[in-house]
Amino acid sequence: MAKAITPREENYSEWYLDIVKKANLAANSAVRGCMVIKPYGFGIWERMQRQLDDMFKETGHVNAYFPLFIPKSFLSREAEHVEGFAKECAVVTHHRLMNDPNGGGVVVDPTAKLEEELIVRPTSETIIWHTYRDWITSYRDLPLLINQWANVVRWELRTRLFLRTAEFLWQEGHTAHATADEALEEALRMQEVYATFAEEYMAMPVLRGVKTANERFAGALDTYTIEALMQDGKALQAGTSHNLGQNFAKAFDVKFSNADNQEEYVYATSWGVSTRLVGGLIMTHSDDEGLVLPPRLAPTQVVIVPIPKPNDALNAKARELMDELKACGVRVSYDDDDKQRPGFKFAENELKGIPVRLGIGQRDLDKGTIEVARRDEKTKSNQPIEGIVDHVVNLLDEIQQNLFDRAVRFREEHTTYVDTFEEFQAVLDRDIPGFIHAHWDGTTETELKIKEMTKATIRCIPQDQSEEPGKCILTGAPSRGRVVFAKAY
């Protein structure tokens, strides 16, 4: 029931979990930190996948699949990468179970110990670059533009459905190039693909920026990020794209002979987004009545509710409307349950975030109108049946745009420019702190100190920002431009 959702004001984190659970998006499983993605939640992820996959293919990428397991020794190859990833992960040590000789079910067969332990991939750079060694010999083999849809595992201590789970679903692009410039271009191109997806499909505005050395991906030269602002004023890193330079090529000895027949190490990128995006989607748009979905990603865009109950005439009208809407590419369903009252159904449909609800009652129909309710603004109006399909199609676009505009407005209202540490702290102490643009002296030392003092991290150094000399809010040392701080997920 919609009523049982904890209001955001009361407890944002409970509100989030209530939405995830009551809208049937996901649930915790019997395995610590691993979630079950329920059909409705998976339907949203499927739409994200399909759209991203199309965008990857339009930019020249193909899909492939690499092993789930990584030999332990691979993680020792790239020095920084091992620091970043070879920590909390699932380690396979045996390959057989046997019946317990004492009758207690199954036990691990001690004789089936692996010679070398296998790690369940936390990310696939190492196994993929080991493979690329066999695939690349000449500049004619480049660029290699490959993506993989996969599950990965990072043994997180604190987990939260979609936002941070031990196992999650994602895509990881891994590309190989003949020049440093091409790799840089690719990393930036994919950051922009992510930004476009976030803004045009998720209706979630994002900042585009570069990560600091401290926040960058283990083994990368630079990490490009898109950062979104959630309704509680915390940032969500929504996607990252890494320019890996020649680091992985060197670690896995991947060389190519260039057009002048000289051997050179290959240049690389990697980039990924995950089921975390579903969490970001929820926290960007939803309200105390439940989920709010942008029409482009909603599994059901329009629901038709018969008022007060289904009957032959209303069913026929609904069927007719559905056919017309489907012909226009609208995903529509008919809520023909005859046991529940309209009020109950309205609340259910709101909880599920269905963008548009059409109420059809005999009295309205006789007057030639239909009740149209929009989920984003929770408003209703009576519309003429004549032209209703066009009206709905346009309304879906309007809702998509409105959600984006609303999120942009929210971000603007929660973006602050501060010049002193006092101001900085004051903004962070607000209920909804948001993005803080402030000067920083460029050192990891200062960055870590600020994090320790305030829990705020540097989300990114914005890419579209003009230079503006200033003084670091903590040390007063000179700065070339503001960076964006926030508390983050």
User: Applying CB under 8 A, which residues contact a second copy?
Assistant: 27, 29-31, 34-39, 42-43, 45-46, 62-76, 82, 86-99, 104-108, 117-120, 127, 130-131, 134, 146, 150-151, 153, 155, 167, 169
Question: Which residue's CB is nearer to a second copy, number 273 or number 438?
Answer: 273
Question: Which residue's CB is nearer to Zn ion, number 27 or number 180?
Answer: 27
Question: Which residue's CB is nearer to a second copy, number 126 or number 416?
Answer: 126
- Residues 145, 151, 157, 162, CA torsion sign: positive
Q: How far is the CB of 71 from Zn ion (least distance, A)?
A: 9
CA-to-CA separations, 437 to 181, 360, 419, 421, 479, in angstroms, rounded: 30, 50, 9, 12, 12
- By a kind-dependent CB cut-off of 5 to 8 A, residue 342 interacts, out of Zn ion, a second copy, none, with none
Question: Which residue's CB is nearer to Zn ion, number 129 or number 170?
Answer: 129
Q: How far is the CB of 462 from Zn ion (least distance, A)?
A: 42
Tokens standing for residue 300: 């059901």
- By a kind-dependent CB cut-off of 5 to 8 A, residue 55 interacts, out of Zn ion, a second copy, none, with none
Question: Which residue's CB is nearer to a second copy, number 167 or number 287?
Answer: 167
Question: Which residue's CB is nearer to a second copy, number 176 or number 195?
Answer: 176
- By a kind-dependent CB cut-off of 5 to 8 A, residue 82 interacts, out of a second copy, Zn ion, none, with a second copy
Q: How far is CA 456 from the centre of its chain?
A: 21
Question: Which residue's CB is nearer to a second copy, number 114 or number 408?
Answer: 114
Q: Please answer whether residues 489 and 230 qualify as being in contact, where contact means their C-beta atoms are separated by less than 8 angstroms.
A: yes
- By a kind-dependent CB cut-off of 5 to 8 A, residue 68 interacts, out of Zn ion, a second copy, none, with a second copy
Binding of Zn ion by 327 (CB under 5 A): no
Q: How far is the CB of 30 from Zn ion (least distance, A)?
A: 4
d(CA 361, CA 384): 13
Q: How far is the CB of 488 from Zn ion (least distance, A)?
A: 31
- By a kind-dependent CB cut-off of 5 to 8 A, residue 72 interacts, out of a second copy, Zn ion, none, with a second copy
d(CA 269, CA 272): 10
d(CA 172, CA 150): 8
N-terminal to C-terminal alpha carbon distance within the chain: 28
Region from 24-32, 247-255, 345-353, 404-412 binding Zn ion, contact rule CB under 5 A: 24-32
- By a kind-dependent CB cut-off of 5 to 8 A, residue 67 interacts, out of a second copy, Zn ion, none, with a second copy
d(CA 112, CA 98): 10
DSSP string, 424-456: HHHHHTSSS--EEEEE--S-HHHHHHHHHHHS-
DSSP string, 368-396: TEEEEEETTTTEEEEEESTTHHHHHHHHH
- By a kind-dependent CB cut-off of 5 to 8 A, residue 74 interacts, out of a second copy, Zn ion, none, with a second copy
Question: Which residue's CB is nearer to Zn ion, number 1 or number 30?
Answer: 30
Q: Please provide the size of the chain in residues.
A: 489
Given 3, 4, 9, 30, the residue binding Zn ion (CB under 5 A): 30
d(CA 219, CA 216): 8
Q: Please answer whether residues 162 and 20 qualify as being in contact, where contact means their C-beta atoms are separated by less than 8 angstroms.
A: yes
Q: Please answer whether residues 150 and 172 qualify as being in contact, where contact means their C-beta atoms are separated by less than 8 angstroms.
A: yes
Q: How far is the CB of 230 from a second copy (least distance, A)?
A: 24
Residue showing the smallest CB distance to Zn ion in the complex: 30
Binding of Zn ion by 157 (CB under 5 A): no
Q: How far is the CB of 126 from Zn ion (least distance, A)?
A: 12
- Residues 288, 290, 296, 297, CA torsion sign: positive
Question: Which residue's CB is nearer to Zn ion, number 74 or number 485?
Answer: 74
For residue 175, how many C-alpha atoms fall within 13 Å in the half-sphere facing its CB? Answer: 29
Backbone angles phi, psi at 3, to 5 degrees: -60, -30
- Footprint of Zn ion on this chain (CB under 5 A)? 30
